[in-house]
Amino acid sequence: MSATSHAHHDEAGQAPLVGSLGVDSRKLGLWAFIGSETLFFTALITTHLIFYARTKAQLMADGMLAHMDPKHFLGINLTSVLAAILLASSLTMVLALAASKSKEWAKFRFWLLATIILGSSFVLGQAYEFTHLYAEGLKLAPQYVFEGETVKSLFGVTFFTMTGFHGLHVTIGVIWLLAVYFKVQRFAASPENPMDVELVGLYWHFVDLVWVAIFTLIYLI
């Protein structure tokens, strides 16, 4: 039962007696959940940055930093495309929401499908990137192999944990998008549709923002 409270007016018809923030309950709950997830990803990203700093210090002490910096694994050729894809998918999401609000269902289906395709492309691209990194010598293991040399470092462990969980969140998002797509298609007249779309959109934007943070902090800087 999603609760939208009804504002009572007092007898003199004055301003409504408040008992509610006036925000849709599910939206409020999702915002709080996003707040929680922000800390989840902060902890994962921070862990990665801490261990990367250690690896760098250790390599610098051995005079090997320039050559063996694990950042060499993180080419931005594919990943910047993935970032662009995810950003584009946020745009298509916004357009889908607008269409759902103005009840333009054909347009809505188009933009939501676009979002789903872009999102799925991200997941597939990320999966490919993982296999590529594995082949190159970066694995979920306490060392990596770069051009034949092994370096004892947790870079791979923290990297795959962090990006793996992000990928998991994107995958869940794609499934959610599909669910909303089919639901709206089946029950086009339901008054709940715009809110359903807005909710998945909110989650989707969050997942996109996390990638922006990861891409910036881990790949670019």
Partner 1 sequence: MAIAEQKLTSVSPATASSGSFPWRTWLATVDHKKIGIIYIVSAFVFFLLGGIEAMLMRVQLGAPNNTFLSADVYNQLFTMHATTMIFLMVMPMNVGIGNYVVPLMIGARDMAFPRLNAMSIWLFLGGGLLLYMSFLTGGAPNGGWFAYAPLTQVQYSPTSGMDYWILGLGLTGVASIAGALNFIVTVLNMRAPGMTLNRMPLFVWMNLVVSFIIIFAFPTFTVGSIELLFDRQFGGAFFNPAQGGDAMLWQHLFWFFGHPEVYILILPVMGMISEILPVFSRKPIFGYSFVAFSGVGIGFLGFIVWAHHMFGVGMGPMANAFFSAASMVIAIPTGVKIFNWIATMWAGDVRLTTAMLYANGFISMFIIGGISGITLASPPIDLQQTDSYYVVAHLHYVLFGGSILGLFAGAYYWFPKMTGRMLNERIGKIQFWVMMVSFNVTFFPMHIVGTEGMPRRIYTYEAGMGWDIWNFIETVGTFFLAFSVLIFVYNVLSSLRTGEIASNDPWDAATLEWAIPSPPPSYNFLHIPIVSSRRPLWDAKYPHAAGDGHHGAANAPASVRYEYTDEETPGAKEIHMPSITFSPMILSGGLTVAALGFVYINKDILGLPTRVAALGFVLIGIAMVAYAIWGWIVDSRKDSPYLGQHH
Which segment (65-73, 90-98, 135-143, 203-211) binds partner 1 by CB under 8 A?
135-143
* Phi, then psi, of 40 in degrees rounded to 5: -60, -50
Distance from C-alpha of 40 to C-alpha of 220, rounded to nearest angstrom: 22
Distance from C-alpha of 209 to C-alpha of 158, rounded to nearest angstrom: 19
Among 154, 174, 207, 210, binds partner 1 (CB under 8 A): 154
Q: Does 75 bind partner 1 (CB under 8 A)?
A: no
Among 80, 142, 150, 168, binds partner 1 (CB under 8 A): 142
- Residues in contact with partner 1, shown as a per-residue x/- string from 78 to 107 under the rule CB under 8 A: ------------------------------
Furthest-apart CA pair in the chain: how many Å?
Answer: 82
Q: Does 43 bind partner 1 (CB under 8 A)?
A: yes
Nearest distance, CB of residue 138 and partner 1, angstroms: 13
Per DSSP, the residues of 75-122 read -HHHHHHHHHHHHHHHHHHHHHHHHHHTT-HHHHHHHHHHHHHHHHHH
Q: Does 20 bind partner 1 (CB under 8 A)?
A: yes
Q: Does 44 bind partner 1 (CB under 8 A)?
A: yes
* Phi, then psi, of 146 in degrees rounded to 5: -125, 115
Q: Are 106 and 184 in contact (CB under 8 A)?
A: no
Distance from C-alpha of 148 to C-alpha of 137, rounded to nearest angstrom: 9
Q: Does 152 bind partner 1 (CB under 8 A)?
A: yes
- The residue ranges that bind partner 1 (CB under 8 A) are 1-5, 7-8, 10-12, 14, 16-21, 23, 25-26, 28-29, 32-33, 35-37, 39-40, 43-44, 47, 50-51, 54, 139-142, 152-154, 157-158, 161, 165, 179, 183, 187, 189-192
